[in-house]
Amino acid sequence: MNEVEIKEIIFQLLKQIAPDTEPSQLKPNENIRETLNIDSFDSLQFLVSLNEKLGIEIPEEDYGETTTLNNLVNYILEKMKI
Amino acid sequence: MIEFLMPSLGADMEAGTLVEWRKKPGDSVKRGDIIAEVETQKGLIEIEVFDEGIIEELLIKEGTKIPVGTLMALINPPESIEKTKKISAPKKTTITIQPTEEKIIEKGTGEKFEEKLFKVSPLAKRIATENKIDLSQIQGSGEDGAITKEDVENAIVQQNKVAKIPKETIESIKEKSTSQIESIRSAVAAAMSKSNREIPHYYLEKRIDITKTLAWLRATNHQRPIHKRLLPAALLIKAVAQSLVNFPDLNAIWENGIQIKKEINIGFVVSLRGGGIIVPTIHTANLKNIDEIMEVLNDIIPRARAMKLRSSDLSDSTITITSLGEGGADAVFGVIYPPQVAIIGFGGSSQQPFVENGMLGIRTVFTATLTGDHRATDGLTGSDFLSALNKHLQNPELL
């Protein structure tokens, strides 16, 4: 799975949680939660759905590495190498 | 015979529109079954039955707007199906002649009303009964607001219009999302205005060190797969519920005096993306463990946001919690949701200098608030409650 495909999945899952927003318009270094106005509950739901879709486990201490589109994509790519 | 009435889904709800019956006469139902879908200001709500039996009769037409408390259906309890059939006629007579009840049940009109509330001519009453018109819904134009024959005839014309709502219109009721935001807004407006008009609020706040609480949560979550992880909200709900056990006066409603409630049912404020809030209930939260509360949240929050709630999700709250989450304002001083007598608020947490045992340290702290109804309790009760809540939050492993 390449970067474009991962982004596609991220946008799709974010759109489910925040249907009134356009996740594909996110800038690479923007804070996802703040920009799309996602609360802690929906944020957890998003990570759960990422886990289900991609099979990657994201420990709580790594949440800080998933805040922007750039670092989330990189984090997933790293995880998928392992 | 069990009378199934249009339930109230909060102080701000006066009526709803029956969109669809999910059961038909002859179907058996048990507690928790969905009997109907009703369009309310809080979206399309699935209405549950609280009794067991067989549907005898559905009294309201789909598409009809009905006030809270309206008789919607008759249900035969299982053990008395045979018996009830035989005695149903005399039972009706008994109800009609009992003056102490102050109301009569007009079987067939499908409506229940208080006779003393309006004046009506005998002719108008007869026409209304024959045409299944609810007199309580008619504004009388006669002397002293008496309902005349003409008023009833106008109502019949109106009813026929309602009864002829085509299927497409009912479908469109399900889809109107923009107006749903507006109706949520007006539901919130109605409840909060009533609260501000009637309830003398008092406000308390307490700064609470939640470093230990969050550390416990992190350690617990560390051992769990992501879909089993807990959010601070689940722990806060449990801590409030546990604290309330010793403060029954705060777990109450005010209706001509304080009425203490046995069950601790927490209303949890969920904000909607389009604006507005909805407050689903976590029933008997003190008897649930944190995992069970988290399961309820996982179920109820997405349904609240999708406006797909059941009647039990919105009923019987005895107190409300509003939690702002991290990054937002430091404290929230809530407006009580009537007829409740208190609301607990949690602000966003932040790292702050905090003195404990004469030592200054950097701790994660948030502000818990309590807004109380001064008719029901005094500031001391609220203050003691916040201290108890603090103790529970310092010992999360015991919750």
- The ipTM, to two decimals, is 0.91
Q: Please state the pTM of the whole predicted model.
A: 0.76
How wide is the angle at C-alpha B13 spanned by C-alphas B159 and B375, nearest 5°? Answer: 145
Inspect the interface and report whether the beta carbons of B231 and A58 lie closer than 8 Å: no
What residues of chain A lie within 8 A of the CB of B227, using their CB? 48, 51-52
Beta-ladder partners of B369: B205, B345
**How many beta-carbon contacts under 8 Å exist across A and B?**
38
The whole-number average pLDDT for the span B298-323 is 93
On the CB side of A39, CA atoms within 13 Å amount to: 17
Q: Is the pLDDT of residue B116 over 80?
A: no
What tokens were used for B260? 């203490």
Q: Do A61 and B301 touch (CB under 8 A)?
A: no
A55 neighbourhood in chain B, CB within 8 Å: none
Residue A62 tokens, joined: 């790594």
**How confident is the model over B161-171, as a mean pLDDT?**
49
User: Which residue of B225, B231, B273 is in closest CB contact with A41?
Assistant: B231
Which ranges of chain B does DSSP label H, i.e. alpha helix? Answer: 81-97, 122-130, 149-163, 167-175, 178-198, 211-222, 232-244, 290-305, 379-394
Name the amino acid, one letter, at B189.
A
Dihedral angle sign, alpha carbons of residues B211, B325, B46, B74: positive
Closest chain B C-alpha to A16 CA, distance in angstroms:
11
B245 vs B154: which has the higher pLDDT:
B245
The pLDDT of residue B360: 95
pLDDT at B127: 76
Split at pLDDT 50, 70, 90, the class of B96 is very low
Cβ-nearest to B274 among A20, A40, A48: A20
- Which candidate in B217, B218, B222, B226 is best for mutational testing of the A interface (most A CBs within 10 A)? B226
Q: Name the more confident of A82 and B310.
A: B310
Cα B183-B265-B241 angle, rounded to 5 deg: 125
**Binding-face residues of B in 182-221 toward A, CB within 8 A:** 218, 221
pLDDT for res B172: 56
Q: Which residue is closest to B297 within chain A, CA to CA?
A: A41
Omega prior to B396 cis, within 30 of 0? no
B226 touches chain A (CB under 8 A): yes
Shortest CA distance from A21: residue in chain B: B273
What are the pLDDT digits (tens) for B223-262?
Answer: 999 999 999 999 999 999 999 999 999 999 999 999 999 9
DSSP assignment of B253-317 equals EESSSEEE-SS--EEE-EE-TTS-EE--EETTGGGS-HHHHHHHHHHHHHHHHTT--BGGGGS--
The pLDDT value recorded for residue B100 is 32
**Can you tell me the distance from the alpha carbon of B234 to that of B230, in angstroms, rounded to the nearest whole number?**
7
What's the confidence (pLDDT) of residue B80? 61
Residue B119: helix, strand or coil by DSSP?
coil
3-class DSSP state of B16: strand
Torsion of CA B10, B11, B17, B23, to 10 degrees: 40
Percent of chain B residues topping a pLDDT of 90: 62
Q: What does the pLDDT read at residue B115?
A: 41
On the 0-12 / 13-18 / 19+ scale of CB atoms within 10 A, B295 is: middle
B178 contact A CB<8A: no
Chain A contact set for B269 (CB, 8 A): none
8 Å CB contact between B24 and B95: no
Say if the Cβ atoms of B301 and A41 lie within 8 Å. Answer: yes
Contact yes or no for A40 and B231 at CB 8 A: yes
Interchain CB distance below 8 Å, A37 and B273: yes
pLDDT band at B54; cut points 50, 70, 90: very high
**Displacement of CA B62 from its chain's centroid (Å):** 23
CB contact under 8 A, A40 and B222: no
